[in-house]
Amino acid sequence: ATTKTHIGNFEFENCFMNAAGVYCYDRNELEQVINSQAGTFVTKTATLQSRPGNPEPRYHDTALGSINSMGLPNLGFDYYLEYLLELQKTHPDRTFFFSLVGMSTEDTHTLLKKVQESDFNGITELNLSCPNVPGKPQIAYDLETTEKLLTDIFSYFKKPLGVKLPPYFDIVHFDQAAAVFNKFPLTFINCVNSIGNGLVVEDESVVIKPKNGFGGIGGEYIKPTALANVHAFYQRLNPSIQIIGTGGVLTGQDAFEHILCGASMVQIGTTLHKEGPAAFERITNELKAIMNKKGYKTIEDFRGKLKYL
């Protein structure tokens, strides 16, 4: 069995990659993902200026997952663009993802115009779902603002673009969100970002400092929500818009389920944070074993073929 895949016009030897925010802060971390079994990587979400992020502790692992309120710490757009352009020379056969978002609508347009005018030839992931910048709502929970933003973006942005979405929890919201996304030539949507503003308590205390302990939840806690979002949009979107599945992937079986629900690429966050880049080889081998046992040669043999009762 092969776990290769494609997103847009790009082929990837493996359908696994990191989730933005994990193992992607700087060249050192990104190089470790490049040198792992991952098919590609996505950068930490970049903003126009570098940001220190929220006070620590701002990330905490639990037995079942993780909670974070990083606050968008990143080295700034230029740092990641420079590295991505360097990789286009040293790894011309590979395609990478650039995650970004502005701290304002104006900044978002400034960033995307810089990408459009640059020599970057990979895929851009616009983060519409950061839950941890105090005072800033998750953009994709405001569908009117999201539609206006995408309308303006596609008037000038002609390179491959996808959006990182928060989880939705209401069937009507799936309907309304899909109706918006279907209006645009999106290469993909990525479901899901962390479940925003959860609260983990240990003994008598919160476990992270920012926002009195409130933070995005990842890991085993969120797989049912992640699979539901992947499948809800798979059922509703134009087939030209592919789906990246993120959330709750610990094993090859979890990845199999994301693909069964419709995902064409699977991102790994909390598990990668806990286990390191070796997780890609383990999970890839586990998925291949499942595919071999079931007689599936490629992921297209079962992608989206979730059975109903």
Ligand X SMILES: O=C(O)c1[nH]c(=O)[nH]c(=O)c1I
Q: Tell me if residue 277 falls in helix, strand or coil.
A: coil
Q: Report the nearest approach of ligand X to the CB of residue 245 (Å).
A: 16
Task: Answer yes or no: are the C-beta atoms of 184 and 177 closer than 8 Å.
Answer: no
Backbone angles phi, psi at 124, to 5 degrees: -100, 130
Residue among 106, 97, 49 at smallest CA distance from 73: 49
Nearer to ligand X, 40 or 69 (CB): 69
Q: Report the nearest approach of ligand X to the CB of residue 130 (Å).
A: 3
> In sequence order, what are the residues at sequence separation of 6 or more whose Cβ sits closer than 8 angstroms to the Cβ of residue 2?
288, 297, 298
Catalytic, 191? Answer: no
Q: Taken in order 39, 195, 231, 302, is the CA torsion positive or negative?
A: positive
Nearer to ligand X, 95 or 246 (CB): 246
Nearer to ligand X, 127 or 264 (CB): 127
Nearer to ligand X, 66 or 95 (CB): 66
Q: For residue 183, how many other CB atoms are within 10 A of its CB?
A: 12
Q: For residue 145, how many other CB atoms are within 10 A of its CB?
A: 14
Q: Report the nearest approach of ligand X to the CB of residue 122 (Å).
A: 19
Query: Rounded to an integer, what distance in angstroms lies between the CA atom of residue 290 and that of residue 17?
Result: 19
Nearer to ligand X, 69 or 95 (CB): 69
Nearer to ligand X, 128 or 178 (CB): 128
**Cα 229-25-60 angle, rounded to 5 deg:** 65
Using CB under 6 A as the criterion, which residues of the chain lie in contact with ligand X when the complex forms? 21, 45, 68-72, 127, 129-130, 132, 193-194, 216
Q: Report the nearest approach of ligand X to the CB of residue 127 (Å).
A: 5
Which residue among the candidates 15, 130, 191, 261 is catalytic per the annotation?
130
Alpha helix positions (H), the chain: 27-34, 77-90, 105-117, 143-153, 171-181, 223-236, 252-260, 270-275, 278-294
Query: Rounded to an integer, what distance in angstroms lies between the CA atom of residue 25 and that of residue 80?
Result: 9
Q: Report the nearest approach of ligand X to the CB of residue 21 (Å).
A: 5
Q: Report the nearest approach of ligand X to the CB of residue 239 (Å).
A: 27
Residue among 220, 295, 299 at smallest CA distance from 264: 299
Q: Which residues are catalytic?
A: 130
